[in-house]
Structure 1
Amino acid sequence: MRHHRQSASDTSPTGWALPVVTVLGVTVAIVAAFIGSGALGGTPINEAAGGALSADATPVAPAGSAFGIWSVIYLGLAAYAVWQLAPVARRSARQAALRPWALASALLNGAWIWTVQLDLLLVSVLVIVLLLAVLIRIMFILGAPRSGGWLEVVVTDVTFGLYLGWVSVAFLANAYAWLADAGVDVVTEVPFGIVGIIVAAAVGVASAFISGGRIPPALATAWCLAWVAYGRTEGAHESRSLVLAAAIASVVVVVTAVGFRLALRSSRSGRSAHAGRPS
């Protein structure tokens, strides 16, 4: 069985062109994102576009500390960019399929940051929708057999899982920010905030089913929702209802993913045991 998984995922080595382009592209995207985020003294994202994406701009905006997850995601992307140059990665059909989409995700993230810095909120929504679509596509690609061991799990499955989970909620926060900035005041009210939280939780639950119960996307979604809850304990959108809704949504997403994953494992174990019985 192990030999079958190995042969199913290995191909003749990929040439150097795409792996090198991937590492260069991801590096440029991370540097552009780092500069565009205001880390070197420019305008921070939460202050760009007139503060439309600040932690207190809408009922579904996460508190500022939530963005600490980007340090983990960027570190994972950098590690992935280096690892995919390794011989085992260049022989992997899984990695060959992943490279262009991984590169696209990094470039789209950099593009999103700069559309916000240029006060192009509507364009930023379109970009983050494309980014979300790319990350969903990546989850399907990661369903293929692995050949790189635990290191491949960390730099691909964990990295892009966290990436997807975060963007699933960030997309919604971005859309609310654009609508609020455009004068659609209803999105700043508590009922619409609760609707947004429910939608974010539904996306997280859907991601769990689509990805086969992968835990990293659920953890990132839950992390973001937990900080939405914390952000609603004070400020312009302080609301006990929003705190409760976001906290419950955070738990539901994780419990669903874990439950679905355990159910899948149980089902596979049952099939294996049944197959091993003499007829």
Structure 2
Amino acid sequence: MKLQKSFHNQLTGTLYLVATPIGNLEDMTFRAIRTLKEVDLIAAEDTRQTRKLMNHYEISTRLISYHEHNKHGSGPEIIRMLLEGQSVAIVSDAGLPAISDPGYDLVVLAVEQQIAVVPVPGANAALSALIISGLPTESFHFVGFLPRERKTIHEQLDQVKTLKGSLLFYESPHRVHKTLTFMQDKLGDRRIALVRELTKRYEEAMRGTISECIAYLEEHPAQGEYCIVVEGSQGSGALQEEGKWWTELTEEEHVTYYEGQSHSRKDAIKLAALDRKIPKRELYNSLLTK
């Protein structure tokens, strides 16, 4: 067992995990600014991005690069400086460091050397998306970015599909449509909030079902980084979990269901076609012949 007394450590320096803005520069806290001014060194995931922040708040502390591609070389050097008594702040591109970035690896090295690791809290994209989602907040699970390989994506979604709490994901604009399609296939047509550009001028939250958000993105190309908040499992049976709630409906009943949710006939056909994984033109022609 290792006991850390964060503010009574005289033998080594301290590693500070400093939250930075996720969009709006005013997300920065007074404590974060003071910490970045007082430490001996700032280790940044992207020095160009962090330099803009430092210039805005007139921070002149020495800045070095620490990211996924140089962590094996930079990490031990930062630990050496901490062991010598210097204090270091690590920051990511945005939000809390060590969440879906290599800051975690540095924390592990510091803990192994009994170096105090101190959080300086602030903005976080996943939790910000959760609290505005309108989905349950009493229990949630952070998943982050899904892997790139189709098989591995399916395996990870299989692991979380029975969890009761809300699910939190990150996704890039060029992958978000494909990711939602995987989610609909594996999780069913659950309620979600698709949140982008948090705290920025074009902040936007889409709330609806997965299929509705897929249809929206087909008409409005994805822009900006996304947080996806997905409703947890409701335990309502295998058909819903597999996204087959509509199995016992005829094609016309399926379309009528969506029309009953205030969708136009055109959009209702598109959503039903997405559920059935058939081209919307095929469904449209099928309905005409009946």
TM-score range with shorter-chain normalisation? under 0.3
Give TM-score, length-normalised by structure 2. 0.26
Structure richer in helix, relative to its length: 1
Flag the structure with larger Rg.
2
Structure richer in strand, relative to its length: 2
Give TM-score, length-normalised by structure 1. 0.27
